Structure 1
């Protein structure tokens, strides 16, 4: 089973100075969690927990309001450095180097109200602002000097296909594309990693056209898009003020829509979406509470990792989905009976395979032992799990 642990200022000393935590991120390479708040940033669950603010870092106070030192988002580059957005300060972007040195940057030569950030596959830092469009910054070869830094790029409704200068969320998908949720729909940048080395159209924001019956329109057109998350199958969960929608990897197909009318969502106003990598469970943060959804796609890996089948064994009266997690990314999965006969086959979504427990022709299967065989993209085939169907 699962359990919750609360980390708050009265049981985690390093969180004592903080209030109103805005963001929390787990470091991908080290055992530490970072939290950004209205008063600096905290590193905890680490051998050297510490709170960082203007006295011991490059984090600065908000212009004209020194009571706030707002760290609105956190991300990590390929070398493990910790980047933060310092909303409304003269250092809208700060970084903690791996040697413990802090640096602050002012890409726009003015305080930016940066609410979200994401780092692409080339370590370019993309920043979402409340009313000043989309900014992207990259460092030169010397972190401590700005002399060799390219000029930051700025995308707005006036110079790109952005329909709004209010940027609410950013996400990098499995193909390296950047998805941008705005106050008026969604745009995608297909090759953001090349934005400083190419002027090709794939480095520019692009609106996505979807076909609805006999007519076409832009994806989410005039809707306020507040959250975007990418699942293990490279599909996108999009949160708006009208619920949550799962769309295909290219955004051209709607797969599922969740609202208060057809799901346990407590509200249609979605502020944020998070996905557990291993299981694919999706969490929706709304204006009046949290809800979760059992997703059918999870984060895959280069090799099978702790493969699990659940439920297992399967009770005779069970008629729900059977899930396999821990698979190689996008594996082709076969279900075989004890005599080696093929029962069902399909491709995993990321590292997760979901089966309805029926044969390929939708007929019922017999009780017994079944083998889960995974064929990796390179053609290697192996039995990764067994499961029992009770009679």
Structure 2
């Protein structure tokens, strides 16, 4: 009944709108190990991770995730609450945003921005600390006071500023007890109370002190008693005669709640469960080797206790006999802070170590890596990576399946076989070398970053702050080779600090970006100059700091910097041109010539099978440009996509599927772009789905012809030979609105004929003709309508 009323109000008030659902083309890959808060209701446990939520059905054990794909914002969650009466999940964020989730997001997600957009409150004070539901409203504890939200009308009521003289104070939690609303504050007022039925609660004078001043972080009832907790770790019963000390915990409480007449007190190291007389019934400690994680929150569902942790997800154990523990975590990577990605043949590797903009490996990141294989995550913790810190760039051996080399910006290169770390290559067992600090001969730091394999299976890798930064390693022979950059780098320690990317073009030239020396090119086979650089304003570089390098299908070098985008069009003359320069891309914006991505921080560039460019930025989201950059096909931001942040850290394209993996500062998502790489011939070309059943939406999802070559003509005819659709690689490119489009190694047909009508049921022939080699192939499609 309440839900029907809610939806009626949504229809009547057009100002209220739901977030968009992106499940058709997007997929979320968030981490669920760090639980911020939990809630329960309707036989479900709800757990909030950093920027996503999952539900666990205690009857069926089913897990459902709710993410930006379903309409969540992707901001950092601080509190959640499930209303059984109204069947709503409230999600509160550190920035003041509140989102209301209906039916596990199957119906929609409603964004409430009143606190977020309130200009009179400092952004640092808008944190949502707690939700307290009472008689159709929710009292929201925030960093500035208490806000009231009506769950029937889905609108805000009053806001109570209850500090001294009506000032703003941090309210950690509220509770209604015996006709009064109590508020635990971080202020000199301590715990205050007011008549919950007063019509003048906006008057701070209505709120009187109920407990001495000080920092209180909890207030909760259980049975006929009211309890408060202070930040000095003391826990009290609050009665008519004031405070009665009950216990002092070893750590501050992180969560206090009452469920089914049980009082649950959570600290970083313990969860305590009490009955209505405050008798201790159960105690769970994180010193148990099966847990070994700090606690954040806890709740009860049925006969089980569910504990949120900071790095082990949700822990389930028997309420009254907590001896064994089960981990409940949706599939996902180790962390949301992905730093580098590498996608190859339906596999994705992710690292979480890093270095800063100045190529400094501080703080040291003791983190493992994650591997997405067969749509399931394999997470390798730090204790299984041979001590390699600050893991960053990933290189996959093209000739050996699941053979991976991961750069460490402190300890060398980690070699991994089938997700098992086998060797840490460092100064003792390889050709790698540490930087040398004068006066500190024992200091060791091997700063490996950019690395890639060439077509012969040779690993090329870059070392920061040494005289010979470029190394090669042959895994087949275990041989190393170093290359001196003395023409550019005279002082190995100070002249160049690190390298962002390394790409190898069709001529065997290695292109890499530096911190001081801009775009560098190296070719060991040159008879003249083997190493050159473009980094000055006279060479049209907006900055010497190159953050991304990509070589496209025409051997043009695309260069990202912290201040914009450049292209080296004639890379073949780079070593012979007396004054090589790069060019900006000029586009017409409303009839005015402008530089593409002027002054934008470009964090990564990737080229897809159609030679189009995916360009990641810090602050402006993700762009997808045509091959020459003149047309913006997509511009994804937090507003129009499931990106949890407009700060894009890294990209990788799986050329076998055309899936684009996008690492942001707040988590990983992927987009089914479809632009797979072309094939050398038509031998492996195929059509899917086949047959095309009535349930398949041809207009939206499109029939795909995969494994086509670079320059191909495609004709689709009916069984009698009548032409239905036709396309050529050089003319019918994707995103042009054709019924039959070609995107790299994939053609997409919307099931319509030359008259723009949907085809009838029947067998259709797909005739492929390679225009360069004259190879042909015929495929059949069965369409059932």
Normalising by structure 1, what TM-score? 0.89
Between Structure 1 and Structure 2, which shows a larger proportion of strand residues? 2
Structure 1 residues 193 and 52, CA gap change in structure 2 (3 angstroms): farther
Contact 1:336–1:344 (8 Å) recurs in 2: yes
- Matched residue, 1:354: 748
* Residue 71 (structure 1) aligned with residue 448 (structure 2): yes
* Residue 82 (structure 1) aligned with residue 459 (structure 2): yes
- Matched residue, 2:724: 343
Q: Give me the whole-angstrom Cα distance separating, in 1, the residues matched to 2:716 and 2:381.
A: 49
* Residue 53 (structure 1) aligned with residue 426 (structure 2): yes
Q: State the Cα distance separating 1:193 from its structure 2 match.
A: 3.5
- Matched residue, 1:288: 666
* Residue 8 (structure 1) aligned with residue 356 (structure 2): no
Q: Give me the whole-angstrom Cα distance separating, in 2, the residues matched to 1:331 and 1:243.
A: 34
- Matched residue, 1:245: 623
Contact 1:373–1:381 (8 Å) recurs in 2: no
Most deviating of 85-94 and 168-177? 85-94
* Residue 302 (structure 1) aligned with residue 680 (structure 2): yes
Q: Deviations over 1:315-343 (max 9, x none)?
A: 32432222221111232222222222211
Question: How many matched pairs?
Answer: 381
Q: Give me the whole-angstrom Cα distance separating, in 2, the residues matched to 1:366 and 1:358.
A: 9
Q: Give me the whole-angstrom Cα distance separating, in 2, the residues matched to 1:55 and 1:149.
A: 34
Q: Give me the whole-angstrom Cα distance separating, in 2, the residues matched to 1:238 and 1:300.
A: 21
- Matched residue, 2:634: 256
* Residue 174 (structure 1) aligned with residue 585 (structure 2): no
Most deviating of 234-243 and 316-325? 316-325
Aligned alpha-carbon RMSD (Å):
2.6
Structure 1 residues 301 and 110, CA gap change in structure 2 (3 angstroms): farther
Q: Give me the whole-angstrom Cα distance separating, in 2, the residues matched to 1:109 and 1:374.
A: 56
Q: State the Cα distance separating 1:115 from its structure 2 match.
A: 2.2
Structure 1 residues 63 and 169, CA gap change in structure 2 (3 angstroms): farther
Which of the two has higher C-alpha Rg? 2
* Residue 118 (structure 1) aligned with residue 503 (structure 2): yes
Q: State the Cα distance separating 1:125 from its structure 2 match.
A: 1.9
Q: State the Cα distance separating 1:282 from its structure 2 match.
A: 1.0
Q: Give me the whole-angstrom Cα distance separating, in 1, the residues matched to 2:490 and 2:400.
A: 33
Contact 1:87–1:115 (8 Å) recurs in 2: no
Query: What's the secondary structure of 1:159's corresponding residue?
Result: helix
Q: Give me the whole-angstrom Cα distance separating, in 2, the residues matched to 1:390 and 1:195.
A: 56
Q: 2:573 aligns with which of 194, 216, 220?
A: 194
Q: State the Cα distance separating 1:350 from its structure 2 match.
A: 1.9
Contact 1:279–1:325 (8 Å) recurs in 2: no
Q: Give me the whole-angstrom Cα distance separating, in 1, the residues matched to 2:378 and 2:408.
A: 16
Q: Give me the whole-angstrom Cα distance separating, in 2, the residues matched to 1:240 and 1:76.
A: 26
Tell me, which stretches of 5 or more residues in structure 1 are unaligned? Answer: 142-147
Q: Give me the whole-angstrom Cα distance separating, in 2, the residues matched to 1:292 and 1:330.
A: 28
* Residue 279 (structure 1) aligned with residue 657 (structure 2): yes
Q: State the Cα distance separating 1:175 from its structure 2 match.
A: 0.9
Contact 1:267–1:287 (8 Å) recurs in 2: yes
Q: Give me the whole-angstrom Cα distance separating, in 2, the residues matched to 1:94 and 1:239.
A: 28
Query: What's the secondary structure of 1:6's corresponding residue?
Result: strand
Q: Give me the whole-angstrom Cα distance separating, in 2, the residues matched to 1:385 and 1:18.
A: 50
Q: Deviations over 1:114-171 (max 9, x none)?
A: 1221122222222211343222222247xxxxxx773521211333111111111111
Q: 2:564 aligns with which of 185, 203, 210?
A: 185
Normalising by structure 2, what TM-score? 0.46
Q: State the Cα distance separating 1:59 from its structure 2 match.
A: 1.6
After TM superposition, the structure 1 = structure 2 runs for residues 126-275 of structure 1, keeping only pairs within 5 Å, are 126-140=511-525, 150=529, 152-199=531-578, 204-241=581-618, 242-275=620-653
Q: State the Cα distance separating 1:110 from its structure 2 match.
A: 2.8
Contact 2:719–2:763 (8 Å) recurs in 1: yes
